[in-house]
Amino acid sequence: MSTILMVGTRKGLWVGTSPDRADWTFTGPHHDMEEVYSCLVDTRSPTPRLFAGASSSWLGPQLRWSDDLGATWHETPNGAIRFPEGAGATVARIWQLVPGVGDGVIHAGTEPGAVFTSTDGGESFRLEEGLWNHPHRPQWDAGYGGQAFHTVLPHPTDERSLTAALSTGGVYQTRDGGESWEPRNHGIRADFLPEDQRYPEFGQCVHKVTRHPSRPERLYAQNHGGVYRSDDEGGSWTSIGDSLPSDFGFPIVVHPHRPDTIWVFPLGGGDRRYPPDAKARVWRSDDAGESWTPYGSGLPDAFYVGVMRDALCVDSHDPAGLYLGARNGSVWASADDGESWRQIAADLPDVMSVKVGVSA
């Protein structure tokens, strides 16, 4: 089994491969000096296909793909992910790329906040117009990094069900193939609003949402202040971050084989975007957020940078491997469910996205 790791940065992409998760070989930079906010290792076919959502300051965003681990790259026709004429918007960045239900289905989340779907392996995409035309959209705000759908969660078995989240707007869900979308934010607090308005119908700054395919009704969310669990697919949310040193952070990841095990990387807060006491620690819960344990063996104790929402990921091995990319250009790996770590890359540009896949 070969493990493939994509590391997207503010100045290009690096591709790592390892036969044993101990020794790594990296190539790059691919798409040098372009922002790579989204990556996808698509292992649904015998030959893994790598996708990169790159953005050039001069030429705009482009979805690129490779079938030979980055030795050669291809551009999708006409940019592929673009608003239809008359939409009054232009795609600035591709923030999310995820496989959907069915062969060739890929979903993309963009800035400005929109979701696109491809049914032909990324050759073409259609705008999810039901979400783009939602009456809430004119009131969605832009987070510190811009307004973007950074989470797109297909239901593992129902191709008509899709959950998406954006900063700043909250969680939305369709169950009819995109015809209609409803906000799913009940119980999520918006600390940046006045005290009597902190539980709005929408407008929350959700940083990331995840779930395990064997428990699709259970969602986990890392918010801009708050870590939450939903046991009814976003109908209501319960806080699970009280025992963490901080409930502010960006990524949240679920174990590939244990739906009650999740990881987060707490930061000091909106005003101190590095870990509490500057000690890099990945916190794990094995009981769906009821309790948490920090793990930092091998991670630095003087760590004054953050980890972004898509810069923590997990592979499908057992024990699971975790991969963490930081804004100082370092990449760290664990092969034991996050309990011990070692650095596998250094001195890269600002890391925005880390994605992994396992290929036979």
- Note whether 4 and 354 are within 8 A (CB): no
- Residues 88-116: pLDDT tens digits? 999 999 999 999 999 999 999 999 999 99
- Per-residue pLDDT tens digits for 17-69: 999 999 999 999 999 999 999 999 999 988 999 999 999 988 889 999 999 99
Question: How far does the chain reach from its first CA to its final CA, in angstroms?
Answer: 5
In whole angstroms, what is the distance from residue 188 CA to residue 112 CA? 23
Q: Give the confidence band of 271 by pLDDT, cuts at 50, 70, 90.
A: confident
Residue 78: per-residue pLDDT: 67
Angle at 98 between CA 97 and CA 102, to 5 degrees: 135
- Residue tagged 């790791």 (tokens): 5
**DSSP class per residue in 281-335:** -EEEESSTTSS-EEE-BTS-S-------TBSEEE-SSSSPPEEEE-TTS-EEEES
Q: Are 181 and 133 in contact (CB under 8 A)?
A: no
Question: Tens of pLDDT along 294-349?
Answer: 999 999 999 999 999 999 999 999 999 999 999 999 999 999 999 999 999 999 99
**Domains of the chain, each with CATH number or no CATH:** 2-359 (2.130.10.10)
> Is residue 329 left, alpha or beta, with left meaning phi > 0 and alpha meaning psi from -120 to 50?
left
